[in-house]
Amino acid sequence: MASSEDFERAFAETDPPDRRSSRRRPARAVILALVVVLALMLIVVLASGQGGIIEVNADQVAVIANYLTGETQVHTQPGYQFFIPFLEQGFLFDKSVQLFVMEGDRDQDSNHVKKLTVRANDGSNLWFDRMELQYRIDPLKADVVLADSGSGDNFKINWVRAFARSILRDEFGKFSSSEISDPTNYNIAAAESRDRLNAMLNDHGIDVIQIITPKPKFDERYEKAIEDRKVANQEVERIKARAEQLRRERERRLAEIDSTKTVEFESLKGTLNAEFISAQKERVRIERAADAYKTRVVGDGQASQARLMEEARGMREKALKEAEGLKAKTEALAKQGEVLVRERLAERLRDIEFSLVPYTKDSSPTRVELESSGGTTAALGGGR
């Protein structure tokens, strides 16, 4: 097949030499222009993602959209992706971390707006000099980003800006001015804000990674009051630390005392144990001595008891015999009657000397009789 140069050469041979040189220059210029136009068209097609090939960088994710079926394919790995020109189209999205900044007194662009002001629940106003939200698209939801936000960087324009300010105001406004000064509380508010933003933005393929919250600012008088309170809190903490130090010192001293007393107690316990053992030995000795004494005393008592019993039996026999004799005498006395009584009386009176002096009430007695125990009677005349 003849090329354009062969055709031009053959055509030029039929012309005169002067016409050949004048017609060769315009033909080359046309060909060069066509090449340039084709190259530009190819570049435009490739740049628009309709050239059938697209390069995916490490910080990008590609979406291949099929215009005929409406299906999309997400490619997260770096490299070249191929598709059918004009029937399919490739779109690239930036999957690196984006920064949304709230700073200053006016909006600069979609990702840099004026500072965040908040009204606390006690009515005071506060603000943050610079608050940063780090976000990015979810690579696996790049087709959702394409459907909801369009191609390119359109996802950076409105989504975070539309929700961030109102949600942050709501969450930080739940605290009073004194509470929001506590880092724990404004970190809680930042975490709650992130969760609420993700609940709204995840369905659109946007993921909020982190909210960097600085210390809130107040007006000058309130700042001074906060500073004074901070100083007072520091003094309270110092006092608490001192109290804790004293408590530990007290515990240390109590531990030392307890240790000393424990040693003394153990020593005293050892002494008492030794004394107890000695007392136990002494108790055993005394018990043995008491048992021996008891045995001896009981033996002596039993012997004495036996002796006394014998004596008692002898005395009883003697008394019985005496009683029997007395009984016999009594019976004999009962039989003899008055005579025996008189005999006994006479026996008693035998050794007794009597002095008798006769007397009478009659001044002139005529006769006196003396009767002896033998029954003899003596008569005395008057005047004898």
- pLDDT single digits (tens) 50-68: 568 899 999 999 999 998 8
What pLDDT is recorded for position 167? 93
What pLDDT is recorded for position 7? 44
Which of the four pLDDT bands, split at 50, 70 and 90, describes residue 11?
Answer: very low
User: Could you tell me which residue, 134 or 322, shows the higher pLDDT?
Assistant: 134
What pLDDT is recorded for position 382? 46
CATH dotted code for 97-218:
3.30.479.30
Full DSSP string of 233-278? HHHHHHHHHHHHHHHHHHHHHHHHHHHHHHHHHHHHHHHHHHHHHH
What's the DSSP call for residue 301?
H
Give the dihedral sign, CA 35/37/38/42: positive
Give the dihedral sign, CA 145/149/155/159: negative
Residue 100 has pLDDT above 70, yes or no: yes
What pLDDT is recorded for position 383? 42
Q: How many angstroms separate the CA atoms of 262 and 271, rounded? A: 14
User: If residue 202 lies in a helix (H) or strand (E), which one and from where to where?
Assistant: none
* Chain Cα centroid distance, residue 291: 63
- pLDDT single digits (tens) 281-318: 888 989 888 888 888 888 888 888 888 888 888 888 88
What is the chain's Cα-based Rg? Answer: 74
Residues 356, 362, 364: CA angle, nearest 5 degrees: 95
User: If residue 122 lies in a helix (H) or strand (E), which one and from where to where?
Assistant: none
Token pair belonging to 214: 């600085």
**CA separation (Å) from 118 to 165, 179, 285?**
9, 13, 94
Q: How many angstroms separate the CA atoms of 282 and 97, rounded? A: 93
Residue 6 has pLDDT above 80, yes or no: no
Q: Are 80 and 54 in contact (CB under 8 A)?
A: yes
Ranges of each domain in the chain: 4-90, 97-218
| β-strand pairing of 60-66 with 88-94 | antiparallel
Residue 139 has pLDDT above 80, yes or no: yes
Residue at 126: amino acid letter: L
Q: How many angstroms separate the CA atoms of 196 and 358, rounded? A: 163
Residue 247 has pLDDT above 60, yes or no: yes
Q: How many angstroms separate the CA atoms of 45 and 90, rounded? A: 11
As a whole number, mean pLDDT of residues 320-339 equals 77
Residue 1 has pLDDT above 50, yes or no: no
What pLDDT is recorded for position 331? 75
- pLDDT single digits (tens) 149-175: 888 888 988 889 889 999 999 999 999
Token pair belonging to 183: 């880092």
End-to-end CA distance of the chain: 237
Residue 93 has pLDDT above 90, yes or no: yes
Q: Could you tell me how many residues make up the chain? A: 384
CA atoms within a 13 Å half-sphere pointing along the CA-CB vector of 70: 1
- Residue identified by tokens 């190259």 is 39
What pLDDT is recorded for position 223? 66
Token pair belonging to 123: 């009515």
- Prediction pTM value: 0.48
Q: How many angstroms separate the CA atoms of 138 and 206, rounded? A: 6
Residues 380, 361, 342: CA angle, nearest 5 degrees: 65
Give the residue ranges of DSSP H helices in 75-205: 142-149, 159-172, 177-180, 183-201
- Residue identified by tokens 């222009």 is 33
Token pair belonging to 292: 């021996």
Q: How many angstroms separate the CA atoms of 217 and 124, rounded? A: 11
Which of the four pLDDT bands, split at 50, 70 and 90, describes residue 336?
Answer: low
| β-strand pairing of 112-113 with 98-103 | parallel
As a whole number, mean pLDDT of residues 5-26 equals 51
Q: How many angstroms separate the CA atoms of 260 and 136, rounded? A: 67
Please return the burial class of 181, using the count of CB atoms within 10 Å of its CB with bins 0-12, 13-18 and 19+: buried
Range with the poorest average pLDDT among 73-87, 165-179, 222-236: 222-236
- Mean predicted lDDT score pLDDT of the chain: 80
Which of the four pLDDT bands, split at 50, 70 and 90, describes residue 191?
Answer: very high
Which of the four pLDDT bands, split at 50, 70 and 90, describes residue 190?
Answer: very high
Residue at 128: amino acid letter: F
